[in-house]
Structures are given as structure tokens and as C-alpha cells.
Structure 1
């Protein structure tokens, strides 16, 4: 793997070198293993060969390694950090260096160091060097002169590489630290400046896969067989999980420390064990042991082996040589797979992402990165003129342009829905009434209706449907998700179904009105199909949504393309009604809700730092240590639960959600808000995969379960079957002693899941992860939050709302914490946000959606306020294919010929 970490503290940086980086973990007959300088920047500073301490430490202090003069302009600023004690401390803000650490899978370290194969160590060094050669060209610096606010690629780094061979527990652990200093030479300004490493971090997975591929290719040439894993890495076949665990003593040490703590403080057994382990790992790191003889270490490792384990290591290299395929054919197949995987959900990608996934798909094959790059050069991608490494395909560009042209060309095509219409509905306020009147007076094929979070958009749309029906028109209402359909039906809408349901039956009365709710979550393919269906039936379309919230899963945010390029002016609601001061129970709460509403307004309007600052002044942002985060969040959740306030927790990753869910549930059990009589069930959590991943055998493991959504191969809808084995064209599943091959072509009829054991009791909250029907034949919706009332001995689960889950329905997870995407459309009294400080997980859309869910309040728990403040200013908008197509707005006819390639109506061009 490739891990990246910034070092801010100068004192720690010095200590890092002295104790951790100066020499390797062993020496051979007294010869130390020194670090090596790397990079064009290092060469420019006169650095080459072995790393000397004086030079390294001068660079840590931002000094020229030869002259001792200051290197870059920026030197010292400070920031506030929360330490492990939970207290705030002033810390250095200048990044001293970045530590990029390359580590092979544990089985590779065992084969190299316990199996005594020095070729693997050499292969590791070569793979690291090859990966660094791809990392260096991504180096950049900020440009702030003459009012500019951009980045400039410099393509040079100053780095020192140190190889290590053991973990802190003295287990075999081959890895290399690449210390990249915070300095790069700007050839335009002719000076050394701070390094901007954004593109390096964006490409981190690409660099990791360059390293993995080069290493795996050498391993196969040495005679080792490799097995790719669903998590993205690989292991050497023949090295058992038990042996890997034996040489993972750091994990065992943490296990032991956890047991000792729980024995000493048994009350902690009711807390989140994962958080306790994480805190121990950070708090009790043993010092690095250095300068041990290799022979002594290897003797110790080999003494830990059993006779069968020794025998298995000896047999590792007796595999048949790999079958050699033509490099061009292998690269072609790998790139095609990568394109199918990426362009299913993204209309514009970085070219290095194609390289990354192609390398992963062809890992260990006899091809190089250059072979893959040769294929992509001939692909005919449409490239961003400003950033040529960003590419799209003609299919996406043509579809987005067809959608935009359908909306643009349809302006003034129809008579108004109703001339001189005036609303007399006294339940509408002035803004809502004007919105209804504007929609009724609209004349376009497409009418846009934008409503921000909590503005009463659904209530207004209900009035629109009723008024349109009065004119004799049939109004078909659709939404992307079944949960949204249920919400619309509950709100009184008629003729409601999912987008996919309507497109499957392809029936729409002539001259109907197609009212599309949550249109911002519809991708290019479905939007194109909806508009074509409407046009075929002389229907009109009303698109209701908010592109400032989360967009589509599939490629192309179609509503944003229409807003950005069609010239249509949306009818809009801006007054927020969700955060209503009238809900307050005191004057203080009333003022808090007013402030809260203003913070949501600022987030909607793009004033992210102002929104953050307002919530901070309100005391709504709690900064705490890793160990305290879940504890404080759980305490607040309990307080609200006891007050019977509806609450949702929003977190950023499924790993974090599982931790939060378990912590909250344990707290609820202690307070007897969840029953103590538990039943353990096998729950199925769907695994999100693209179609390309579903056809890739690496995507599966032994816990994979298939749940059938439709009848297929003798299975009924709702049946489940465990994965038995895999071939290149089939999944083989097992159910009740039946073994059945399922061809990949049937995978659109199944949901792929991972099985998790889950203890359930009365009062538990669940999030359903599939559509279905209850035993009473009532609808069940994917994403719906439900509460367990009781569990029957035969597996049925009675819900508090009167529905019952059949014993076959097991697609659910705990429902106290959800993703930001899953929270969209929900309205509760209070929202709690558990921030993981992960840069890639937070952006302006996530912030706006998350903080706007509550009616009364929000509380945010973060480990780093400053990092969170920075993260929320990142745009969550995915780039469109149209964004990189020059001249579309200025030269329409030329653009049409270029991207369509033939005449014919846009919506029906193929």
C-alpha cells in the first residue's frame, strides 16, 4: 500500500530522522543501510547518493542543504491542535515534509525475509523507484503573483528514501519511507517555493498500483503465484492467513493491551471496543528498535515456524511459469475494463485513473505502464484543453449535449399550462404562490423548479399537480428512489413511481406532464431516456431539484448540465421553512434556530466559511480527540433520545458508520432504550459495484451472498444464495445443497451482498438496504429507517409501524448513523455529524446536505476544526463532459457535427 502523512512539527521531524530514518532496521556484518537522495529537486540542490544527517536536518529547517540559507519564503506560522489529552495546543503550521510510505502485502515480507529471497527486496526497491518516477511529475506550487490564484506544475521534488525491514514488534515488514520535503523549484519564477501536493494525493491510488504491479510482475517471474484481493491488494499464494497473523504481532499487542484495560476497568466493556483499540494504538507505540543483525532477526523468525510452515515456504517457488500473453492484447483488455468501470459513473476522469484501474486489472501480467499508456494515446478521448490529462468519451459528450439542446430548443414551444393563472390557495405563502403561477405560465418543453433544502418544495409541487390536473392533463410523477416515491405518496401525490419503473414500461399518455422530483439525482442515461419518452408522447417535463445537493450516482449530472448550458431560468424557492423558530420551546432556543437557519442559508449560497463560523459561534462544533469523538456524540444522542427528539447521525464512510452504530447501540442498551433479549441474525449489506466489477472475479470473497431481485435460474425474487466458487464467466452459488452456475449476464437480477452477524432486540433501529414488500404486502423502501418491535422464533421481524419483515428479508444495517447521501431528503429535529477529517469525504455539497437536515439544531464532532473548515470549501460538483468541449456555446452547428457525427434529432441520435 501507499500511505501519505504530513509532518508539521520540526522537533518531531528531527527525532523522526534520528530514531527512525537514519539507518535500516538491520545491518549486514556491521554495514548500515543508509537512505538515498531522490528527485530532480535534490539534484538541483547538489544532493545525490547516501543521505547525510546534516543535509537532511537543514532541509527540515527550511535551509539550503549546502549553504545554510533559507530555502523557501514561508517559514513559521502556527495552528491550534487538540492533543491526545483533549486540550488545545499551539503547533507549527509549516509542513516540514510529507512521508509517502510504500509497503507490500505481509505475505511478500514473509517470503522475502523469512523465506530468505533477497530478489524480492531488490524487486521492492525497483517498484518503489518506478512509482516515484510517476509521483514526481505531479509536483506543483501555488501561484499568487499579480492577483493569480492557481497552481503551476513544477515536476521536481527533493526526497530521501529509506528502506526498512521490520515492524516495531520486530516482525518482518518490508517498507520504504519516501520523505518528500516541502520545497520545489519554480522554473518560471526562478525560486524555491512550498510544494503543492494536491495532485500527488489525488493520484495516490494510481501510484500505489504502479508499485503493486511492478512488484507482482517480478514475483511471478520469480515463480511465485499471486492472488488479487477484493480490497485492492494481493497476497502470495501458499502463505496462510495463520502465518500472516503470526507475524503481525503489533495487532496482537494491541489485543493484549485492550484485554488488560478491560480487566482493569470492566465498565469500558460497554463502550466502543474499536475506538478503544485505536486509542491504544496511538498512545502506546513502542520505540523503533535499530541495529540488529539480519542473521539474528532471521533466526528468530524461522524459530517461530512450525514444520508445515517451513515446508510451505520452501514450496512457494515451485509454481509453473506464468503463461505469457501478447502485451498489446493484455493492455487493450485492461484499458477496456478500466473504461467500462470508470465511465459508468463519471463523465470526465483523470487519465491516470484509467491507468490505475488497468494496472490493477492486469496486475502481474507481462505488461508495463508504457504499454497501457500507448493504448490510451490511441483511444480518441476528448481532452480538456486546459488540463489535457482530464478526458471524456464521445458517448457522454453527445448525450449531455442532446439533453441540453432538447431543453434549449424547447423554449416557447408550447402554450402556457394555463393563461393568466392566479393561485387562491391560502396555505401557500407569497413565494410559493408566485412559483406555482410561474410554472403554470411556462411554455417550454422543460421547466426548471429549484427548491433548496427545507424550502417547502414538495408542498408547492403538490399544488402544481392539482392545478395541472384541473386543466385535464394527466400528471405522471417520478423520483429516482423508492423511498422518495413513498414520501411523495404520503404527501398526497397521485400516479407516482420510480424513474426506472416508468422507463421499464415506457408508457406515458399523450400530452401528459412528466413531473420529476429530485431530478438532481438523475444521471445522463436516465434523463436522456425520460426526455425522449416525453417527446415521443408530446408531453412536457417539469424538473424539480437542487444541484447544490448530492447528484447522480451514474455518469453526468444532467440537471446541472441543463442549468449551466441551456439558458433556462429556473423557478425558485429561497425562503427556508424547515428551521422554524416557532418550533422552539424557549426564547433561547428560538434565537438558536434563527442562527441555525442563517448558517444553512449561507451554506446554500456558497458562503461556506461564514456558515462554519456561525455554527462555531453557536457552539455547534465540538473539537475532540479520536478517543472522545464517539463518546461525546453518543452522550448527545442519548440526551435527545430521552427527550424523544427525532435525530439522525451523519457520518462519512461505512467503516465509520459501523463504529458509530455499535457505540450508540451499546449506550442505548445501558439505558434500557434497546431490549436486553437479543437474537443474532445473518444480515446482508449490499456491496456497491459497477457492472465491470461484477464481472471481475477479484471483486468477491468467501462472505459474498447473492440476493435475487427477480426470478432467475430457478430462484425466486427474495431468495439468497452463498457464493460457492468462481469462473471467468460465471458465479457458482449454493442454496439448500443446490449448486447452480449464474452467468454474468444474470447479474442485473441480483444484489451482491456481504454477510454480517448482527444482534437484534426490541427498540433497535435499522436502515433497510433493498426494496421489497412486507408480509402485509406493504412497500419496503431502500434507505428507509425502521424500528424493531419484536423478533419471532421463525425469523420474522415485527416493526413498530405495523409491518413485518419476512425471514428472507435480511438486507439491512443498523440505522442510527447514515451517509450524507442517505440523509438527503430527510427531516428530523436534530442532526449529529461525526466528521472523520477525511479530505476526500467532505465538500460543499456534503456540508450543505448534512447541516440542513435538522429543524431545531445541529452538533458537529470533529478531530480537527481547521481541516474541516478547509474541506468544506472543496466543490462536490463532478465535472461534466460539456465542461471540456470548446466552442459549444459559440459555434452550435459546428459542435453538433463534431460530437453527433450525423444528422437527426438530438434525443434520438444513436
Structure 2
């Protein structure tokens, strides 16, 4: 890390004292900087030269000393201290590894080069003082090796002497406390970035030696893996105790000075080293082993990029398998997803990750992976594109070649309107919308089967999951006609028949391709019954519709009774759901709870079991039984290393044996991509993942508490119980459970683990039944029509527990889902596909561009403007091959392309500052929206004073009046913490309640954090996060809706924490919908929760936005319009680093007296 301070009071004596270095030998000091060469100061620092330099006297008769009152008042310079990570100190100082000390020296040199770029002085030009860059410094570097607590602490004091040279003149370094353009002011501004540059360079050198490093904190703090550091961190612990773990760098610097003890004089060197070595020995540290491992790792990396056991062909095949595996589940995935899947099927050997990355890049180049954005953030696969294209081609062939003949004369015409249309048009391929749950699915399938029977056509019903297959097979008219995808691949369809696909929305594009191919081969009619639930991978039905397949709508749809319970707190939602479950269970109603995610299912199960106990539905008598929970294995994931965990159970079934052999996984070995198995006799055997086939089954062992009255569901076939069977435990015996299943009593022995678990909670839609209650805990993002259709598969009464407000939840549930196929994402304009693929590949970002863009995003989290060192410090750690010159070239390219805008500043600023064009445009949009909204609204009240409650401060009263009487679309309310903004809000709400219902606006709260949303909800305001609002409006617009906010008043709380882009988008949507908004907050609040940071002179403060400031005493109301023109362009106000447009939403508002 880098700390900045004045030169120590002891001057040369302090820095050159032997008390500061005991173990560094001849490495204690050196001259650095371009001026050192010019002045002939090279090598080790001599005391006399250093003393004279501090006094302003340098070789060659240069004298910058200044006498006043008989004293030399020349400022000697600055102490910039670079401290090594503690593990570096341990290896370099305690263990005496000279390579580590050299690495520190090299990293210090790199940091010094960046510091020297900041060198500047002040000159007079036509009577005006200005700062000019010189880029020349003289520094004396002193290496010290202990802390004041006598811990090993390698650090270098860079004493920057107060000297530079400009146009042949020797000058002092500039200082500018007002404009912040001086040398030391820029060092302070870039303190974190300079420290990161030093640590990043040191880390790269150390890793090249073969050491592994681990991140230990923010700002790229790290240590060498395997080196004990806590035993030597007394100073760090003292500082943490003083200011806390999350303190800022400035706070830590202050605490470092406040807690610093006097340097101990002349400690015994041998005793100190002995004490350090003893501490390391007690901690179990073996330096010899660590060094040998690093050397071996370094040698392996230099000798061969990949061992012979894993060939490049193996790596390419692993990439192919990874792409195929991901494509089974998703249409979009990240580079990291592909890399992770690839490495999971390869031996963990040195450089394997490098080879995998290279193979993935080859897959991108060959268009196996198709980029969906320039940043290599998201990809789809050629598998998806080919599947979608093939599906559309087969659909076209079916429409043109399959003839649906009449067959036998129809016995009767269907009474179902959609079936009458199918009977008349006789489509070869059609999608039939049939939402409404299991009952609608049954009725639709039966009607379609009856129609085909009437035409003399042989019928098959394809169920897309096993639960649906079982449910439909129970229908007498469908007996023997229901098949699954597995049956479909095993046997051909009857020629000239009708294939009815139940739950067709769940088909993946790959499965739909298989089904369509089979139907075409048999010249069968295919009717795809769409229940409107969650779609399979790729949304096959959308792909077919894009190919022109007709979608037929049913007439009257069976209605599912739906109710909504709105509770913002998740614990309260789960508790309410559990109580409702217990109540319905006590009444004898068939009820199931549903929620997504294993963790949420476990939490909800625990709440339900507690509620059942409270209602005396579960006995106090309970026993803990061993259970085995099946884990999904298929041809893809069974060879992925992360599928397996130590302690899992594998069963292997031999072809001729009815009883499987059971093993426990004792060890998962990444190095050999294999498992070590333990049988019931304690014998070990190895199993390569490449040998795991369909004869193996995987289970997760689990301890399950079972009480009398418990509901259990079997997860896999065991004895006479099939997967999906639910039982109720009626009695617990010593070694068995007595259960009731479908009216029959069974005894389940506990001599071996049961393949069952609690049966209260399932994933949404996994249970298929016509009747019963469904209690669903649904996240805000999932509350919608698709989820409702999915839940309706499990019953005819659905109760949704959601964090959304009642009105918002019901509005979302009434809407339809939207989806874009992979083909549409790659080729949105429907042009020539190869050209679109080439364009997507060729537009990918280079590593330098991606790193710079990510670095800019990181730096903009705290400052909207940034400098080259800011970007350099964040970009270099992002890619191991990136160098400073690569970053410089990319920054220059983006400036030339107009993506980065240089920010004008005072002449001679040490570092050019930049802002992104996107941030600047967002700022201008905010200004434009506010300006256009001035005087555009009718007042909510003509005279608000008559209805405002007594007891308000003047500031609160004026702010309330502004909200109620303003004619502007956007207004601002500034108020510091504790001045009564909440009281003022309650006053406004009470005043609005006095309006007639037809004039009263709906008040909607928006905020960047859930905490602020909860606080608004507590005072009666329906609220949501700003991110949720933006996502919801975007979905509505995509669905063809034009949101109407003409009767809505938005209250945007904590506005200063909202970034420019989100605020611009939100204000744009509000304005487009005819709404109005109050932007409330505190300009001294935290920075935005998103990036980039909001410009601290945001539009509201620059374009005439009326604003009220609340204090305990007074209020200000000020129009501010002089800084923006009609197009929203803002005049620049450069007054140093970060001054351009950087005062927060309320920075330009008049600050009331007393605020």
C-alpha cells in the first residue's frame, strides 16, 4: 500500500539510521528519478548529499533554500511509503529470499515511474501563475525492514525532494490547495491507484516465480498462499481496532499516526530473528517445502505448456462437450461458464486453463460459440442456431408436404370452437393455446384426441414430463396412447396419425426438432398444446411461430382461482404461507407449497413443519432417518467433476443383478479427473469419470427428521414405492416406519437409507393434478403470467405470496411473457445469417478494450471523472498479459473514437481527466427532461397552505407546498439526515387524501435500496426499487403497452444514490407516460449504488429545477437555469479534479442557512 506524509522530523538521521534496517545489507538506499542522473546522484544515498538535498541544496551549485528570520524555510519534500504485503516481508526479511527483495525493488521502480509523471511546477506567464508538467523528479529511496512493533515489514520510503526542472530552470514542486492541481494534491488524489499499481507489478513478478497468491481485501490486497501472516500483524491489528475493518484509507492513515509508538532503539538482531523463526515454526511453516513447490511449478510451466497425458485434441473435445452441456440447459451463457465446464472434465494440470482459454477462443473463431455482445459477456452456440434453423425448415416441410386426409367419416363434430377450426382447416402443424392448468390440459388433449378419432386417425399423446404422463394415462380415453420423449425415440409413430403434444411449452428446441422429425417421417399431424407455463431451453414454440406455424386460441378458458398475499419481508411471507398450509391441512384440503431453489425449499419446509406442530398435525415423537436424495445424472454432467462431492453415494447396477452395489465417494481428484470410492467393507477403488455410464446413479445423503403425521415423498423407486409417491407416516417403530399410501398400509424398513424426503414443498408446476390448493412463494421478478400458468398445473386454487404490492402483482399476472429466440438475438434484422455471424465475431473486444472498459466502470463507482492512473490501476490486474502501454493505446483509441471525453481543466493539471460519452449524454438527457418539464403540469393543489398540518418547521412547510403547488414535472427536495423529510412526506400524503378521488394521484415510491423502499412502505407509500421499476416498464413497452403515468406522482427517495443512467432512464419513462416526480435526498449522502457515479452537478442542479431544502430552521427555493442551453448542453465548470458536473443531485441547489 502507499501512504503519504511529510518528511520525518529527524531528517536524514531517521531514514539512514541502522535502527530501521537490520537484515537488508546493501539494499538499504538508492537514488531514483530522472534528475538523479542529471545531477550525478547514483547508487547508494550518502548522508551528506541527502542532508543538503533536504535543505534545498543540490550538486552543481543549485540552491533552492529560502531564509526567513534566520531560518531555512525551504520545504524539504514528501515521504511516499510503499509497503509490501506481509507475506513478502516474511519471505524477504525473515527467510532472506533475495529474489523476493529484488521483486519489491522492481515494483517500487514501476510505481516511481508513475509518480514521476505527476511532477509539476508553477510558472508566471504574463503575470498569471499557472501549473505546468515537468515529469522530472529526484527521490531518495530507503528500504526498511521492521515495524515499530518489531514485526517484519518490508517498506520503502520514497523521499521526493522538492526539486524539478523546467526549460533549463531548477524549480520547486508545485502546490495548489485551492485548485488541487499541484504535485502533492495529485498524489493524494491517486494514492489508491498508485498503491494498486505497485501491488499488481509485485504480484505478477511473484507469480512468475511459481508462488500462488490469494486476495485478502479490497483495493487488490493480496498475500502469498501458505505463508502465515497474522502472527506478524500487530500494527495492522492496532489500526483495525482503532478504526474498524471497513475504514477508509484516509481513516487508516490517521489511525496509523495516532497509534504509532516510538521506534525501539537497538533491539538485538539475533534475538529478533530467532523470535521470528520460532513463531513461524510454531505456526507449522515450512519455507523449504513452499520454495520447492514454487520452483517445481515454475519449471513445469517453462518446460511444457501441457503434459502429454492431456493433448490439445482432448482440450478441444472438452470445449465441445462443455458447449453441448450448456446448450442443453440454456440458450445464453458466459465465457466463464464454458471455461468452468471445460476444466471440470479435464485433469487439473499446470497451464490447462491457458490451453482451455485458447481452445474456447478457437471455438469463437470457428463460430461454434456466437457472441451476443462485444465484451465476450454472453454467447449462444451454433448448436442452438442450427437447431432453430432445422426446426423451422422441418416445420416448413410439414406444412407443405403432410396432407391431413379425412379418413373415416366424422362421427360427430367437436363442440370445442378451436377443434372445429382444426377440423375445418386440417393443419399439418398447429400450436393450440390452452392455459388453465391440469384440467385445461386434460380437456384440450381429450378434445383433440376425440377429433382425430372421429377422422379415423391413430392418436398418440406425447407428455413432456413423467408427472404429466402419469396424470394423462389415468384418463380412460387415453389408455395405452400416452408416450414420453424416451418412448418416441425407441419406436416410430403410426403412419398418418395425429400426435398431440401436451405441455408443449416445456419442449426444448432440440426435443422439438426430434418430435417434428418423427411426425414428418410418419406423415402425422402434430398439435402442440401450449399451457403457457415456463418454456424449455430455447422456446421451441416461438421458433415455430417465427417459421409461420399457426397459433390457435381457445375460446372460454377454465379459470383458476387466484389470490395474492403481499408481504415485503420474506420471513413474514414464509411464515404466513406455512400457517395457511397448516390451516388447509387441518381442514383436510389437498395442499402443496411451491418455491424455486433448493435453499428456499428447505427454509419453507422448516417453517411448514413448525406450523404443523403448532396445529398438532405433527407428533412430538420423531426419529432421524438416513435418506438418499437422487441427483440428476445424464450423458453430459456425469463426466463433469463438480457434479460430485465427497460423501455422496454412487450406486452401480449390473445388467444381471436386481440389487445395486453402493459406494461412498471418499475423494474427488481434480488432478486425475477421477473418484475414489469406498464400499461397505471399507475397501477403496478408483473410478475415472470417463467410465461413468448410465448404469451409475448418484445420491446425496441426508438426515431427515420424521415425526408421526409426517408427509414423505419418494424421490426414486424403492421396493413397491415409485418416484413421486407420497405417503403419510402413521407410526414410528424401532427399525421401521408405518406409512399410509393410497389407502393402503405399508411398512418401510429403516435398515437402509430411504430414498425419500419431506413432501410439503416442490418446485413450481412439478406436481400435476386438477384440483387442490397451491401455495406459492414467488420472487418479484417471477410474479407474472408465466409463473401463474406453471403453478396452475398443480391445482385449481393458487395463492401467490409475493413481495410486490397487491395492485402491481395482479397487473403482472394478467400479462403475457415475452421471449426472443437465439436466432433473433444473433440476427435481429433477419438479414443474411452468415454475415450476422461474422459481424458478431469480428466485433468482439480485444483484451485491452475489455479491461479498460471494466476499469472505467470500476473507477466510476466513486468518481464520475477519472485519470490514466485510475484506469491503469484497475485494468492491469484484469488480464495477466496486459501491460501499461496496451492500456495507454486503448485509452487513446477510445478518446479518438469519442467514447471517452477529455475534461477541460486548469492549464498544467498533472493528469488529464476523462468522462465517458455515455455518462455525459445521460447527464444532458437529465437536464433536457427537467427543462422540458418546467411549467408543464397543473398544480396538485391551488392553495396547499390551508390543508398543511400545524407543527411543521418552515422548511418542511415550504417543501410540502412546493410539491403540492408546483407546475413542474420534476422538483427536488434537499434535506440532511434527521431534519424531518419523513414528517414532511406524511404531511403531503395527508394533504392529497383531501382531494376528490378523481383528482387524487396515485403515489408511487422509488428508491435505489430495499431499505429505503421498506421505509416508504412503513409510511403507507406503495414502493419498489428503481431497478425493478425500470425492468417492469421495459417489459411493458416490449409487450406493446404504453404506460400511462398521468395520474401518478413518483417519490424518488435517496436520489443522490442513483446513477446517471438509471436516473435518466427513469425520468424518461416518467415523462413519456405523462407523470411527475419529486426527487428527494441528501447531497452529502453515499455515492450511487450503481455505476457510474452520479455527476455531482446533475441536471436538476443545472437547468432550472425548482428545489426546496429542509432544515430545522429555514428553506431555500431556487431556480437554476443559467448553466444549460436549450439543447441541454452544460457549460463546463472545471475547477480541478472531479469538479466538472460533480456536486450531486442537489449540489447546485442553494444551501439554506443553518443547513
TM-score w.r.t. length of structure 1:
0.54
Distance 1:549 1:664, change over 3 A: same
- CA–CA separation in structure 2 for the residues paired with 1:216 and 1:872: 53
- CA–CA separation in structure 2 for the residues paired with 1:545 and 1:447: 10
Matched residue, 1:509? 494
User: Which digits, 9 at most, give the CA deviation of each residue in 1:279-308, with x for residues without a partner?
Assistant: xxxxxx999797477999xxxxx9999987
User: Which digits, 9 at most, give the CA deviation of each residue in 1:817-861, with x for residues without a partner?
Assistant: 2222535x4555433333456x6x767633553478553451415
Distance 1:510 1:659, change over 3 A: same
Matched residue, 2:328? 344
1:69-108 alignment, distance < 5 Å:
none
1:44-443 alignment, distance < 5 Å:
222-224=210-212, 291=255, 310-311=284-285, 318-319=292-293, 321-322=296-297, 323-324=300-301, 325-326=304-305, 329=312, 335-336=319-320, 338-351=322-335, 353-354=337-338, 365=351, 371=358, 374-381=361-368, 383=370, 389=376, 390-411=378-399, 413-417=402-406, 421=410, 423=412, 433-443=416-426
Distance 1:351 1:765, change over 3 A: same
- CA–CA separation in structure 2 for the residues paired with 1:333 and 1:578: 50
User: Which digits, 9 at most, give the CA deviation of each residue in 1:6-32, with x for residues without a partner?
Assistant: xxxxxxxxxxxxxxx9999xxx99xxx
Q: Secondary structure at the match of 1:623?
A: coil
Matched residue, 1:832? 775
Matched residue, 2:739? 798
Matched residue, 2:663? 721
User: Which digits, 9 at most, give the CA deviation of each residue in 1:481-510, with x for residues without a partner?
Assistant: 221111111233222455233135224333
Q: Once the 2 structures are TM-superposed, how far is the Cα of residue 400 of structure 1 from its aligned partner?
A: 2.0
1:672 aligns with 2:616: yes
User: Which digits, 9 at most, give the CA deviation of each residue in 1:68-121, with x for residues without a partner?
Assistant: xxxxxxxxxxxxxxxxxxxxxxxxxxxxxxxxxxxxxxxxx998999999999x
Higher RCO (C-alpha 8 Å, min separation 6): 1
Matched residue, 1:756? 702
Distance 1:384 1:725, change over 3 A: closer
Matched residue, 1:812? 756
Q: Once the 2 structures are TM-superposed, how far is the Cα of residue 758 of structure 1 from its aligned partner?
A: 0.5
Matched residue, 1:229? none
Matched residue, 1:545? 530
Distance 1:893 1:537, change over 3 A: farther
Q: Secondary structure at the match of 2:801?
A: strand
| Structure 1 alignment gaps of length 5 or more | 1-20, 30-108, 127-210, 227-234, 244-284, 297-301, 581-592, 597-614, 899-910
Distance 1:509 1:338, change over 3 A: closer
Matched residue, 1:14? none
Matched residue, 2:543? 561
1:734 aligns with 2:678: yes
The structure number with the bigger radius of gyration is 2
Does the 8 A contact of 2:434 with 2:530 survive in 1? yes
Distance 1:892 1:338, change over 3 A: closer
Does the 8 A contact of 2:466 with 2:484 survive in 1? no
Does the 8 A contact of 1:331 with 1:375 survive in 2? no
- CA–CA separation in structure 2 for the residues paired with 1:623 and 1:647: 24
Q: Once the 2 structures are TM-superposed, how far is the Cα of residue 401 of structure 1 from its aligned partner?
A: 1.9
User: Which digits, 9 at most, give the CA deviation of each residue in 1:858-910, with x for residues without a partner?
Assistant: 141539989989998999766533224549978899999x9xxxxxxxxxxxx
Distance 1:443 1:661, change over 3 A: same
- CA–CA separation in structure 1 for the residues paired with 2:800 and 2:745: 32
Does the 8 A contact of 1:476 with 1:514 survive in 2? yes
- CA–CA separation in structure 2 for the residues paired with 1:294 and 1:355: 48
1:746 aligns with 2:730: no
- CA–CA separation in structure 2 for the residues paired with 1:890 and 1:623: 46
User: Which digits, 9 at most, give the CA deviation of each residue in 1:392-411, with x for residues without a partner?
Assistant: 33333222222222222222
User: Which digits, 9 at most, give the CA deviation of each residue in 1:789-826, with x for residues without a partner?
Assistant: 44565556634323756766733332222222535x45
- CA–CA separation in structure 2 for the residues paired with 1:889 and 1:705: 50
1:679-698 alignment, distance < 5 Å:
679-688=623-632, 691-698=635-642
Q: Secondary structure at the match of 2:293?
A: coil
1:443-842 alignment, distance < 5 Å:
443-454=426-437, 456-469=440-453, 471-492=455-476, 493-546=478-531, 548-552=532-536, 555-562=537-544, 564-573=545-554, 575-579=556-560, 596=563, 615=564, 620-624=565-569, 626-688=570-632, 691-708=635-652, 711=654, 716=658, 720-726=662-668, 728=672, 730-737=674-681, 739=684, 741-743=686-688, 744-770=690-716, 772=717, 775-776=719-720, 780-782=722-724, 785-790=726-731, 794-795=735-736, 798-801=739-742, 802=744, 804=746, 810-822=754-766, 825-827=768-770, 829-835=772-778
Does the 8 A contact of 2:363 with 2:369 survive in 1? no
Does the 8 A contact of 1:331 with 1:371 survive in 2? no
Q: Once the 2 structures are TM-superposed, how far is the Cα of residue 760 of structure 1 from its aligned partner?
A: 1.5
Distance 1:391 1:644, change over 3 A: same
Q: Once the 2 structures are TM-superposed, how far is the Cα of residue 765 of structure 1 from its aligned partner?
A: 2.3
Does the 8 A contact of 2:501 with 2:527 survive in 1? yes
Does the 8 A contact of 1:829 with 1:855 survive in 2? yes
**Number of corresponding residues:** 602
Distance 1:530 1:663, change over 3 A: same
Does the 8 A contact of 2:369 with 2:380 survive in 1? yes
Distance 1:871 1:685, change over 3 A: farther
Distance 1:865 1:732, change over 3 A: farther
Q: Once the 2 structures are TM-superposed, how far is the Cα of residue 637 of structure 1 from its aligned partner?
A: 2.2
Q: Which moved more, 1:886-895 or 1:329-338?
A: 886-895
Q: Secondary structure at the match of 2:493?
A: coil
Does the 8 A contact of 2:408 with 2:455 survive in 1? no
Matched residue, 1:862? 803
Q: Once the 2 structures are TM-superposed, how far is the Cα of residue 441 of structure 1 from its aligned partner?
A: 4.1
- CA–CA separation in structure 2 for the residues paired with 1:692 and 1:681: 32
- CA–CA separation in structure 1 for the residues paired with 2:284 and 2:815: 52
Distance 1:637 1:749, change over 3 A: same
Matched residue, 2:954? none
- CA–CA separation in structure 2 for the residues paired with 1:761 and 1:305: 53
- CA–CA separation in structure 1 for the residues paired with 2:279 and 2:774: 52
- CA–CA separation in structure 2 for the residues paired with 1:387 and 1:864: 38
Matched residue, 1:166? none
Q: Once the 2 structures are TM-superposed, how far is the Cα of residue 464 of structure 1 from its aligned partner?
A: 2.8
Q: Once the 2 structures are TM-superposed, how far is the Cα of residue 623 of structure 1 from its aligned partner?
A: 2.5
- CA–CA separation in structure 1 for the residues paired with 2:429 and 2:90: 68
Distance 1:338 1:402, change over 3 A: closer
Q: Once the 2 structures are TM-superposed, how far is the Cα of residue 458 of structure 1 from its aligned partner?
A: 1.2
| Structure 2 alignment gaps of length 5 or more | 10-84, 95-99, 108-198, 215-222, 232-243, 263-275, 840-1155
Q: Which moved more, 1:484-493 or 1:885-894?
A: 885-894
Cα RMSD, aligned residues only:
5.7
Does the 8 A contact of 1:399 with 1:525 survive in 2? yes
